[in-house]
Amino acid sequence: MEKRVTFRGWLLPLVLIAPQVIISAVFFFYPAAQAIWQSLFIPDPFGLSSQFVGLGNFEFLLSDKFYRASFLTTAIFSTLVTLCSMIPALFLAVIADRLIKGSGAYRTLLIWPYAVAPAVAGVLWLFMFNTRVGVISWYLSQLGYEWNHVLNGTEAMGLVVVASAWGRISYNFLFFFAALQSVPRSVIEAAAIDGAHFWRRFFTIVLPLLSPTAFFLLVVNVVYSFFETFGVIHTITGGGPQQATTILVYKVFSDGFVGQDLGSSSAQSVILLIVVGLLTVIQFKYVEKRVHY
Amino acid sequence: MNKHILGALAVSTALSPVMAMAQTEVQFWHAFTGRLGELVKAQVEEFNASQSEYVIVESHKGNYSETLNAGIAAFRAGEQPHILMVFEVGTATMMSAEGAIKPVHQVMAESGASFDPDAYIGSVKGYYTTTDGDMLSLPFNSSTPVLWVNRDAMQAAGVDPDTDLSTWEKVGDVLDQLKAGGEECPLVTAWQSWIHLENFSAYHDVPFASQDNGFAGLDTELMLNSPAQVAHLTAMGDWAKDGKFIYTGRRNEGGANFRAGECALFTESSAGYAGISSEAEFEFDVRPLPYWEALTAEPQNTIIGGASLWVMEGHEADEYKGVGEFLSFLSSANVQADWHQNTGYLPITAEAGVVTRDSGFYDSNPGTDIAVIQMTAKEPTANSKGLRLGSFDQIRGIIDEELEAVWSGDKTAQEAMDSAKERGDSLLRRFESANQ
C-alpha cells in the first residue's frame, strides 16, 4: 500500500499555505477583480465621476481594427521571442554540456544577460542600432544596407524581438543545461556503441528526455513575451513605426497611463488575462500530451 | 543633480520643524530636469528668500506625462500638490476635472495677490483661458516652432546662407539645391504633429478641429484632413521619398542630428535655443516658420507648446494665499524676462518682452525675438487661439503613426489623415461621454 504522510489537524496546513494564498490574493486576485470591475465603466481620470457602460468598453475595443491588428502583432512577436530565446539556449546548453573543462566559466558568462533589466536591455540594443550613432547600423551602412527601424516596421519588430529574447536566452540556458545534466549517461553511451552519431542521439534520446523542461519553458516564455517585454518596447520603439510593434500589453500601458483612459485600459487587461489563460489551457491540454515525464 | 535634490531635501527636512511654526508650505510638482530644473529651483529659492510667510517646495515628478499621472494619482489618494505643471496637451483633461482644480483667476481673486489678466500675451493666455475670458491655469513655459538654419551646411552645399526661407515654396527650392549640393540631411523636424499639423493649421488660419479647435465644446471633430494640411503633408511626403526630409522619430530626436551639424534645416521649438546655442559648433540662425504662399498671402500667428501651472483643489485658504503670491511672483516682468532669455521660452507678459528688448538682449542674440514676433504679430483667430481636445496625448500618438505611414510611402497624405480623423474622432467621442 502507498505510504502517505498526512497532517493531523487543519490548522498547520492552513498556516503553511497561507503566505502563498495571501500573496496571490493581494497581488493577483484583488487587482484582477478590480480590473474586471473597472472595465465596465468609463471613469474620468481623477475618479470624480464614472459612467456604467456594461460591455461598452469591450465593444469599443473589438470594433477597432487597430486593436484587432495588435492581436496579430502580439502573436508574431510572442512566437518569435519564444523561438529566438529557446532555440539558441538549447543549442548553447548542448555545446556547454559537451565541454569537459571550463564549462563553469561559459555557464557564468551565459547567465549574465539575465541580470539586465528589460528596459536597460532595450536601451543597449537601441544604442547599437541607433540610426545615427549605432555601431551595428554603421557597419550595416558600410555593407550598403541602410538600417532604419524608425520607419521600417519589419526592422523595428526584429530589433524588439532580439532585445527581448537576448536576456531570456540565459534563463532558458540554465534550465536546459540542468536538464541535460540529468540525462543518464548510460543510455547515451549505449546508443553511441550502437553507432548513433551525435545529432541522432540528440534527437532520439536527449530531446524527448528534455521535453518536460522544454514544455515548462514554453509556457513561461510565452507569458514573458506577453507581459514583461513592455520595457523593451517602451524604450526602443514606443509601439512604432505606425503600429508595427504595438503589442497588447503596450497598448494597456499607453491607453491607461498616457491616455488616462482607465476604462479601456482595464478592459484590455481583462482581454489579455483571458487570452493568456486560454493559451495556457491549450498548452496544457494539447502540448503536454507530447511530453514524456 | 541628484545631490542637489538630496541636499535640498536634507536642508528642508532639517529646517521644517522650525519653519513650520511660521511658514505655510506649498507643494509644487514640475517636469523639469537639467538646466531647466536648475532654473526652476532658482526661481523657487528666490521667492522663498523674498518673503517669510510661505515656503514653496518644488519636486520633479518625471517627464510631462509622468508628472500629470503623478498629479492624478495623488489626487485620487488625497495627496495632491498645490501646484501641478501640466503640458498643453493635458489642458482639456484638466479643464474637465471640475472639483479637482481651482481656476487660477479664482485663486488670485481670493488671495488678493496682484493679478492683471490683460498683462499676459494674448496668444499664450488664450490657450489656458475659457471662452468667457477667465484664466484657468497660469502659462509657465511656452514656446512656438521656428526654423533653425545651419549656415555652414548651406554654404558647404553651395547655397547662400542668407537665402529667403520665408515660404515652403522657397524652402522646397533650397532643399533641391541642398540635395544637389551633396547634403545628406537637408531638412529634419522635431514634434511632427505639433509643428506640421497643429501649428501649420493655425499659421494658415485653417481649423484643426471643429468647435473652434475644441474651445467651444466637447462635441468637436478633427478637421486635419482638409486640403491645406493634405497639400503640406503631400509635399513633405515627397521630400521624404527623395531623401530631402529625413524622419528621425516622434519626439525631438532630430535635435541631436541638427546640433551635431548633420542637417541643414530644422523645424523645432524656439526653446531649442538653449541646447543649440550651447552645443552647435557651426554658424546657425533662426528664421520664422515658413508658410505656403499658395495657401495664404500672409501667415496668421503660430500657437504654443509647453506647460502651464494648475492649482489643485482641496487645500487650506492660507495655503492658496501662498500659491497666489508665488504665481504673481512668477509673472513679474524681471522673473519672466530672465526665464525668456535663459531658455528661449516666450515671455508670458508683454512687459517681460519690453524689459528684454530694452536690455539689448535681442540685439546681442539675433533671432531670439522671432518667436515672440511670430506669436504676437496678429490677433489670434478662432483657428489660431490654440487647441483644446480631450485624449489629445493619444490623438497625437495616432497622428504620429499615420504620419509615419506617409513618410514611408505606405499611405498618401489624404489616406493617412482620413484615417487619423476617424481614429481620433472615436477617442473624442469617448472623452465626451466620460466628461458629461
Question: Looking at A168-182, B16-30, B71-85, which range is the least confident one?
Answer: B16-30
Q: What is the pLDDT of residue A6?
A: 79
**Cβ of A152 under 8 Å from any chain B Cβ?**
yes
CA distance linking residue A256 with residue A259, whole number of Å: 6
Cell numbers standing for residue A28: 493577483
For the segment A143-158, the average pLDDT, to the nearest whole number, is 94
Residue B12 reports pLDDT greater than 90 = no
pLDDT, tens only, B285-318: 999 999 999 999 999 999 999 999 999 999 999 9
**Interface contact flag, A242 B405, Cβ < 8 Å:** yes
Q: What is the pLDDT of residue A125?
A: 95
pLDDT, tens only, A153-208: 999 999 999 999 999 999 999 999 999 988 998 999 999 999 989 889 999 999 99
Angle value at C-alpha B30, between B28 and B33, nearest 5 degrees: 130
| Centroid of chain to Cα A176 | 17
For the segment B401-427, the average pLDDT, to the nearest whole number, is 96
Q: What is the pLDDT of residue B22?
A: 67
**Cβ of A103 under 8 Å from any chain B Cβ?**
no
For the segment A15-29, the average pLDDT, to the nearest whole number, is 94
**Cβ of A58 under 8 Å from any chain B Cβ?**
no
Report ipTM for this prediction. 0.88
**Interface contact flag, A66 B423, Cβ < 8 Å:** yes
**Interface contact flag, B433 A51, Cβ < 8 Å:** yes
CA distance linking residue B141 with residue B33, whole number of Å: 14
Mean pLDDT for chain B overall:
91
pLDDT, greater one: A100 or A184: A184
Q: Which residue has the cell 523542461?
A: A213
Superfamily of domain B145-302+390-434: Periplasmic binding protein-like II (3.40.190.10)
Q: What is the pLDDT of residue A98?
A: 83
Question: Looking at A20-34, B10-24, B365-379, which range is the least confident one?
Answer: B10-24
| Alpha-carbon distances, residue B316 vs B55, B109, B305 (angstroms) | 15, 15, 32
For the segment B18-25, the average pLDDT, to the nearest whole number, is 66
- Helices A103-111 and A153-181, interaxial angle, to 10°? 140
The structural domains of chain B, with segments of one domain joined by +, span: 2-143+305-364, 145-302+390-434
pLDDT, tens only, A238-251: 998 999 999 999 99
For the segment B185-192, the average pLDDT, to the nearest whole number, is 96
Confidence label for B4 from pLDDT (cuts 50, 70 and 90): low
For the segment B63-83, the average pLDDT, to the nearest whole number, is 93
Residue B11 reports pLDDT greater than 80 = no
**Cβ of A130 under 8 Å from any chain B Cβ?**
no
A26's CB contacts (< 8 A; 6+ apart) are none
**Cβ of A150 under 8 Å from any chain B Cβ?**
yes
For the segment A132-150, the average pLDDT, to the nearest whole number, is 92
For the segment B90-112, the average pLDDT, to the nearest whole number, is 92
**Interface contact flag, B257 A151, Cβ < 8 Å:** no
Question: How many interchain CB pairs under 8 A, A with B?
Answer: 89
**Cβ of A241 under 8 Å from any chain B Cβ?**
yes
Cβ burial A18-42 (10 Å sphere, 16+ → b, else e): eeeeeeeeeeeeeeeeebeebbbbb
Indicate the residue of B68, B404, B426 with minimum beta-carbon distance to A242: B404
pLDDT, tens only, B338-378: 999 988 899 889 899 899 999 999 998 888 899 989 988 88
Confidence label for A260 from pLDDT (cuts 50, 70 and 90): confident
Phi/psi at B266 (5° precision)? -150, 120
Q: What is the pLDDT of residue B131?
A: 79
Residue B9 reports pLDDT greater than 50 = no
Task: Note the pTM of the prediction, 2 decimals.
Answer: 0.89
For the segment A4-8, the average pLDDT, to the nearest whole number, is 77
Indicate the residue of A47, A151, A264 with minimum beta-carbon distance to B407: A151
- Helices B317-331 and B104-111, interaxial angle, to 10°? 110
The fold of B2-143+305-364 is D-Maltodextrin-Binding Protein; domain 2 (3.40.190)
Residue B3 reports pLDDT greater than 70 = no
Confidence label for B21 from pLDDT (cuts 50, 70 and 90): low
Q: What is the pLDDT of residue A3?
A: 65
Query: Residue B323 carries which side chain, given as an amino acid letter?
Result: V
Q: Which residue has the cell 512687459?
A: B351
Strands B265-269 and B187-189: parallel
Residue A7 reports pLDDT greater than 70 = yes
Residue B193 reports pLDDT greater than 80 = yes
Give chain A positions within 8 Å (CB) of B402: 242
Residue B421 reports pLDDT greater than 90 = yes
Q: How many CB atoms lie within 10 A of CB B376?
A: 17
Q: Helical H runs in B361-391?
A: 361-364, 370-376
For the segment B4-32, the average pLDDT, to the nearest whole number, is 64
- Domains annotated for chain A, with CATH where assigned, are 64-290 (1.10.3720.10)
Mean pLDDT for chain A overall:
91
CA distance linking residue A260 with residue B435, whole number of Å: 13
**Interface contact flag, B250 A238, Cβ < 8 Å:** yes
**Interface contact flag, B404 A151, Cβ < 8 Å:** yes
pLDDT, tens only, B211-236: 999 988 999 999 999 999 999 999 99
Question: Looking at B9-13, B82-86, B295-299, which range is the least confident one?
Answer: B9-13
Q: What is the pLDDT of residue A222?
A: 93
Among residues B279, B268, B262, the alpha carbon closest in space to that of B178 is found at: B262
